[in-house]
Amino acid sequence: MPTVAASRPEARGWVAPALALVLAVTALRWLLLAFDRTDLFVDESQYWLWGQHFEFGYYSKPPLIGWLIGAVTGLAGSDDSFWVRMPAAGLHGVTALILAALAARLWGAAAAIWTTAAWLSLPMVAVASLLISTDTVMAPFFAAALLFHRRLLEDGRMGWAMAAGAMAGMAFLAKYAAIYYIVGVGLAALWPAGRIGWRNGAVLLGAFLVVISPNIVWNLGNRLATVSHTLDNIGWVREDAPLESGLNPAGLAEFLLSQFGVFGPVFFAALILVVARPKGRAGLLVFVLPALAVVSFQALMDRAYANWAASAYLAATPLVVAYLMPRPIWLRVGIGVNVAVALALPLLTLVPEVTLGRDQPLLSRYLGRSDLSREIIAQSKAQGGIPVVAGNRDILADLFYTGRESGLAFYARPPVGRPQNHYEQRHALPGSATGAVLFIGDLPAGCPSLAPGQTVTGTGTWAGKHFAATVTEASCLHAPG
């Protein structure tokens, strides 16, 4: 891949305008976030709970997001949703600057500034700046690993190999999708220009393994909980989802079409053209294609969410910018379309009840969660503040968050067999528990109703759904055996 030496004038002068752009966009996103009227999503509430108890791993994800939220809310002295979500916009601003530094080394200052604007405008970044997710926490570390790999290719110093491996390890502690970086380093070595040498390769891999080792040890001590959850998401690898069940071409088509929304329609179309004519671009494409290929295969075999290939777009952003710079109209159109989406999304959170002719609000999945929790909490207090037990992960997630200052105890129904979520793993009703509890959901057979049954109804994400709230004896909820 042709490069521009960082010492040349055309590679300088990008830092000030890029930093100004990042500060302006980040400040605007924080301002709008302060007026956000949506509830924390189930995953966000769960990450917040993780942050209350630092561990080297959690049921479904590596630990970095829990550490981050715990640190930020602790320093702020507040668990308000603003502080839970606040790191997201800042992390994407940092990611934009790191990708800009990579673009500057490869194609000069203009590419760096355009890369900053492109990353900040991506639809997936706009969404991820309103929420807190593992993709967001992974992004700056993955970007730093890409930059250090480039520096390693330029001068071969072992320090860059160690830094690249360490940053990849930190990215992995945010989300396991960072493993695509290690795959990309291996693929890059297939071309002479991408080879870092055996010694540097060993140092990079060694640094990576040292950083992730605490999470590996945690998994080994917790029955490979996170690995098992990952396999649950990849349904076709389980024995109960055999390959003979058939392929899912509609799922593949849905996933690929969704990427026009994730990366932006012009940018994803440009990426397809880059893939079709990869000459001179393999140095970054090797960090793009593995994620897209693997997740596309997963979509064909079973299902895949739109964000599962998010790591691909860290390398894809400067790559597409460089491809479109000789076509400035399309570069401006691509960023312009993305900016329109990036502005509309946070404005929508200010008036989340907007329906636009639909039966439910556009943001219904981010509404009604705290309302349901408050209704359940009120029923518990009406019974003297008895513990609440539920089997629904979404309900439990918000109960722990919304009820954090209620003085009530919340438990998951004890699992039968392997725990299916963090609440069953760490917050299941103790086997020694006795006395009255408020059970949310269908009362198990054989459990007595100790008071007239009530019903809790929901709005937003729970619209049209009703949940029984029954006072029963805790001992009857214990898992058999």
pLDDT at 111: 97
**Average pLDDT over the chain, rounded to an integer:** 92
What pLDDT shows up at residue 358? 81
Q: What does the pLDDT read at residue 337?
A: 97
Q: Looking at residues 240-260, what average pLDDT do you find?
A: 81
Position 52, amino acid: Q
Task: Quote the percentage of the chain above a pLDDT of 90.
Answer: 84
Q: How far apart are CA 363 and CA 305, in angstroms?
A: 18
Could you read off the pLDDT of 274-288 as tens digits, one per residue?
999 988 788 899 999
Over 90: is that where the pLDDT of 481 sits?
Answer: no
Identify the band that residue 458 occupies on the pLDDT scale cut at 50, 70 and 90: confident
Residue-wise pLDDT tens digits, 192-237: 999 999 999 999 999 999 999 999 999 999 877 776 666 665 654 5
Q: Is the pLDDT of residue 45 over 90?
A: yes
Q: What is the C-alpha separation between 257 and 435, in angstroms, rounded?
A: 53
* pLDDT tens-digit map of 131-169: 999 999 999 999 999 999 999 999 999 999 999 999 999
Quote the CA–CA distance of 271 and 312 in Å, as a whole number: 11
**Lowest-pLDDT choice from 5-19, 124-138, 365-379:** 5-19
| pLDDT on residue 245 | 57
pLDDT value, residue 394: 97
Task: Report the pLDDT averaged over residues 107-116.
Answer: 97
pLDDT at 231: 61
pLDDT at 436 over 50: yes
Question: What's the average model confidence in pLDDT over 413-421?
Answer: 88
Q: What is the pLDDT of residue 414?
A: 92
pTM of the model: 0.93
Between residues 5 and 182, which one has the greater pLDDT? 182
Segment 458-481 shows an average pLDDT of 88
| Percent of the chain scoring above 70 in pLDDT | 93
Per-residue model confidence as pLDDT tens digits over 287-315: 999 999 999 999 999 889 999 999 999 99
pLDDT tier, 357 (very low <50, low <70, confident <90, very high otherwise): confident
318-355 pLDDT per residue, tens: 999 999 999 999 999 999 999 999 999 999 999 999 98
